[in-house]
A = this chain, B = another copy of it.
Amino acid sequence: MTTYKDATVEEINTVMENSWLAFEACKKFSLKQRAGFMHAIADALDTRSETLVATAMKETHLPKDRLEGELTRTLFQLNSYANAAREGSWLEARIDTAIPDHTPAKPDLRKMLVPLGPVVVFGSSNFPFAYSTAGGDTACALAAGCPVVVKAHPAHAETSEMVAAIITETARKAGMPEKIFQHVHGAGFAVGEALVMHPRTKAVGFTGSFSGGKALFDRAAQRREPIPVFAEMGSVNPVYLLPEKLKESPETIAEMYAQSVTLSVGQFCTNPGLIIGMDNEYLQKFIRVLGREIEQIAPATMLHPGIAKAYAANRSLALQQEEVSTVAAATQEPLENQGVPTIASATGEAFLKNPVLHKEVFGPFSLVVRCRDMDEMTAIAAGMEGQLTGTLMGTEADMLKNNKLVEAVKNTCGRIIVNGVPTGVEVCLSMQHGGPFPATTDPRFTSVGADGIKRFARPVCFQNWPNTLLPDELKDANPLGIWRTVNDDLTKEGTRIASDL
């Protein structure tokens, strides 16, 4: 594996100062040019897909088809966020025209989102393409008009280096400021910390562990000028099995979940790590079938030795807890760095009193919680920490009857799935990939879907500006043809000037 030297403090300083200069230089580019650059990155990555996938396979042990799919997703993100950037709704353009004869005279006010400035992106270990160097955060920041500095994830630094070189080359060809995208290496925390603390850094995007994300969030809050950090820090993704639905199809649900729990060796932030049901014959049947399925799924190599080690340790810790029993584990012996698919079980009472059982075990592991009754299940839902997702396996009657539980799930997560699995995060405007802390550091934003652009932009109001000097997005004639709210009405029309009324 190629190793890279950590960036020095001086190098980081140069990188961030150059990022600031690129920010200023980028202002002259239109939404269309911004989008064109993003499409060009997608095209360039596409032409090198074979080498990229091969390198990522070597570094991450993820299978070829998974990586090919992930690269396709990455291109789709770049292209679809580019289209969203150009379409312009995300700018939240608002115009209130002047009313000169009002007392006091109402001025002309126009508002739109502008880029925050240089954004530092920390990619994830488990998505070397889609949530790393040219991934969702980078695409959102570029769409917002921000230059990006990526700190390569050390687990796939070579892949990251290749992607970075492609983006830089594309920038040069597209006539963009070369430093619109920069790339640094850093195996420890020091480089990341220095990037977050640099005064030129104006926002941070992070996908990874709680400890890493929280540490960066804390540093950013302690800056002389605190800055927004969107850290997506994973989740246990509780699944609630409601009684009527469970009674209908315990086997089908178990088979579906055996797949979801072990997909990509359980290395998804939306992996269902907790399955909660009322203890009865149907739940017992569900557990039996789930166990039987899990036993037959082969252990597989995890992303890197550190993750495999952490999985083994966290799995052991969970299984060693009093009142936790092992339901099933893959029967095939694991090789080094492989994760063993495992299902454990505990009572609702044990779960409620033991915070260790609330923690994510990142890997192919799920804990089935057997509740005494629906009150206990509702209490568990109400006490749950913030989550990316919550899943309700339930009939309509189940959901109507257990409204308190449904509301508790809504209070604690960003996405609520009915009769499905949380794994599989569709890239579209309606997606919410976020949630209350500790799932993320700010529940008001998403890191998947074009709404993620708004993490990296802020409104600026232009009062009484001459029309010719306004950004095109806010000019009377609406030359870009974008949706704008004019005097409280959403329209693509140009403004009627107050004096024309």
Contacts and interface: CB of A to CB of B under 8 A. Distances in A.
Interface of A: 24, 27, 87, 89, 92, 94-96, 104, 106-107, 109-111, 114, 116-117, 217-218, 221, 225-228, 385-386, 396, 399-400, 407, 410-411, 413-420, 424, 426, 428-432, 434, 436-438, 441-444, 446, 451, 454-455, 457-466, 468-469, 483, 485, 488, 490
Contact of A459 (B114, B386, B444, B468): B444
Given A411-B117, A420-B463, A217 B225 contact: no
A431 B464 contact: no
B430 A95 contact: yes
B465 A92 contact: no
A228 B410 contact: no
Nearest to A444: B458
Nearest to A27: B407
A417 B464 CA distance: 6
A429 B460 contact: no
22 contacts: A24-B407, A94-B429, A94-B451, A111-B429, A116-B444, A217-B226, A226-B437, A226-B441, A396-B466, A410-B460, A414-B460, A416-B461, A416-B462, A416-B465, A417-B464, A431-B461, A432-B459, A436-B458, A444-B457, A451-B459, A483-B490, A490-B490
Contact of A225 (B386, B416, B429, B488): B386
Nearest to A448: B461
B106 A426 contact: yes
Contacts of A410: 114, 460
Contacts of A92: 451
Contacts of A413: 460
Contact of A420 (B107, B436, B442, B444): B107
Contacts of A106: 426, 428
A459 B434 contact: yes
Contacts of A414: 458-461
Given A429-B488, A461-B430, A469 B399 contact: yes
Given A87-B488, A415-B463, 14 more contacts: A24-B407, A27-B407, A94-B430, A96-B428, A96-B429, A110-B430, A117-B411, A217-B221, A225-B386, A226-B441, A399-B469, A415-B460, A418-B466, A418-B469
Contacts of A466: 396, 399, 418
Contacts of A483: 490
A485 B111 contact: no
Contacts of A227: 437
A496 to B, nearest CB: 15
A27 B411 CA distance: 11
A438 B107 contact: no
